[in-house]
Structure 1
């Protein structure tokens, strides 16, 4: 009779049982007569590795999906990773800079190769970390937001929503990233209407007897108006 260890040794327990679960496909799911219960993991970005927020979030999801299995439901936890393109590009550009390579010196295809290399490297780490946590995902369904199937689905849905009049271009504040040279949405801005003053500033045009007039609600920014 084997005696139980007086101290918990994760290296003797976790890998052993996770390997057992994997060999017996205990987390795989296919449609059947049971009540379905599905969680699609909010995919972590491939810009790095998992952090404490992921640990908490994924632990809660794992508890819920395991409980659903134990109550007889057809439980499925779908794993995946997200491209987070702008953030990923910044990481790739920084990595290339360490090697003395400028993005502007690369063709689109060359840069995409570096981006995909980054994705495969860090996306793989994230999925392995989830396994190390004991996540009971159906790994056969692993998805990436930029893979061919997902890309086609996203395009189809956006086109369909646009044709139904559910997607439109609204007036929204954006932040310009001068380094990435792209507009970044700020979805957390809270909009409210208010009465304000409009200040008119006249710029004297050198060599001419006239002015260029600019109207602004924020005169404090005028010292930075280098465009004029």
Structure 2
């Protein structure tokens, strides 16, 4: 058998990745093996993956594949993130290129455009990860704004609030002259220390 003098990924990578997926070699179900789980830091759906994502995900893939070789029940959970204001800016810019002003749309109409953007770019990102050879359990793919994740977040925060472990305060941190939006930080404060905050747009 004659070996090529140069490696041609087109002859190898797609063929074997399709084989791995067809035989569900990345799928993980709880069993008696030692678990090893990585939840991918979800990339924002503001565009496509960059070199930083490639490096980050390559390292995660190496760790997950090594765990599998060690006999562990390895599970790498894939997903994407909504990126909130950053995604909104992308959607507004695309609408502007089509001659549409956000202010002329109802909330429901704008959300429709936002979800179209999310479906398009989220799909691109996941396909890029597949092209990279990421050994994710694709049956577990999640999006931070899907119904299941949104319901879980609401439940946790309501439970913490009802237990008196956190309270909410609103502080204005900046004004966006382009989006004409007051950016507010809704901080969730622990009774003992300051917790993480999330930023949202208020009009």
Number of aligned residue pairs: 186
Distance in 1 (alpha carbons) for counterparts of 2:184 and 2:80: 21
In the alignment, the residues of structure 1 paired with residue 132 and residue 147 of structure 2 have an alpha-carbon distance, to the nearest angstrom, of 28
Q: Does 1:183 align with 2:183?
A: yes
Aligned to 1:131: 130
More divergent stretch after superposition (17-26 vs 159-168): 159-168
Secondary structure, counterpart of 1:151 in structure 2: helix
The Cα of 1:155 is off from its aligned counterpart by: 0.3
Q: Which residue of 2 aligns with 1:163?
A: 162
Q: In the TM superposition, what whole-angstrom CA distance separates every residue of 1:22-77 from its partner, at most 9, and x where no partner exists?
A: 11100000000101110000000000000111111111111111111000000000
Greater strand percent: which structure?
Answer: 2
Matches of 1:173 and 1:102, distance apart in 2? 26
TM-score, normalization: structure 1? 0.77
2:46 is aligned to 47
SS at 1:182's partner residue? strand
Structure 2: unaligned runs, 5 residues or longer: 188-203
Name the structure 1 match of 2:153: 154
TM-score (norm 2): 0.87
Deviation string for 1:183-210 (max 9, x for gaps)?
A: 154x9xxxxxxxxxxxxxxxxxxxxxxx
Partner of 2:111: 112
1:1-228 to structure 2, matched below 5 A, reads: 2-169=1-168, 174-180=173-179, 181-183=181-183, 185=185
Q: CA deviation at 1:171?
A: 7.7
For residue 80 of structure 1, report the CA deviation from its aligned partner: 0.1
Unaligned runs of 5+ in 1: 188-228
Answer whether contact 1:93 1:102 (CA < 8 A) is retained.
yes
Select the structure of larger CA radius of gyration: 1
